[in-house]
Structure 1
């Protein structure tokens, strides 16, 4: 497991994963309490948190199929979106394993007959998996092709 102590370290790993899987990556950075998404109450022109730190958030969008984006938050977690399915609260250190699982073809979708429903399953090291419900209207061709 990679240890990603900073947002910049995490972005470096995201770029390496994009290169491993021959994908384009576009990254934008939001630096300062008045710029990051979770600090909307910071006020205009307030760049540091109360403890004097400068929060750094990054958003990365990968090219190709499946459509994947990653928002890295200053609080050491991430929001990963796969084909429109939002996977919240992914620890920053688990982001590389999550992406390698998706890009490596290990992620799949389970289907339930009653009540009808779908769930994206992303295997992680240590016999763990991240599971996220998939609304029927988000069932893209990529997700449909991975239904088990």
Structure 2
């Protein structure tokens, strides 16, 4: 840990590496776009672009990860320590970045499932993570993909 690095770089890269490990476990292709610098970052912290620069001038860092296979999964990792994960078109905003690898494992490991409710009516994609953490997102009926339909419980 000799030379100083931007605090966000190692964690974004660590998350990408952890997701890559999960992708290899399940034999999934993985594409990463991680050359998004401050000039191209999709959003900035409230402190403003200049305030997030390190003394060494390194830039905020985000990465976009796409996984092959079914369901389609993409993970957008933000410099603010959160991620947006999309599973077959169902968007989960504000997932903690460190939870992203476990989230992908849950989806591809068969733990994620869809539950229909009569009241309030609707289908929910439920993604359980270790440690009693669960993410739920409403699935609109017309967007029930074959993978989502197969995973209704």
TM-score over 0.5 for the alignment?
Answer: yes
2: distance between equivalents of 1:5 and 1:83? 29
2: distance between equivalents of 1:88 and 1:74? 14
Kept after mapping to 1: 8 A contact 2:53/2:60 = no
Please give the TM-score of this superposition, normalised by the length of structure 2.
Answer: 0.83
Matched, 1:50 2:51: yes
1: distance between equivalents of 2:60 and 2:126? 31
2: distance between equivalents of 1:68 and 1:119? 17
SS of aligned partner of 1:99: helix
Unaligned runs of 5+ in 2: 1-8
Aligned-CA RMSD value: 2.0
Deviation at 1:11, TM superposition (A): 1.1
Matched, 1:82 2:83: no
SS of aligned partner of 1:66: coil
Matched, 1:23 2:28: yes
Partner of 2:37: 32
Deviation at 1:5, TM superposition (A): 5.1
Q: How many residues align?
A: 139
1: distance between equivalents of 2:74 and 2:91? 9
Kept after mapping to 1: 8 A contact 2:52/2:60 = no
Partner of 1:147: 152
Partner of 2:6: none
Instruction: After superposing the two structures, state which structure 1 stretch, 4-13 or 63-72, moved more.
Output: 4-13
Deviation at 1:135, TM superposition (A): 1.0
1: distance between equivalents of 2:52 and 2:69? 40
Please give the TM-score of this superposition, normalised by the length of structure 1.
Answer: 0.86
Unaligned runs of 5+ in 1: 40-47
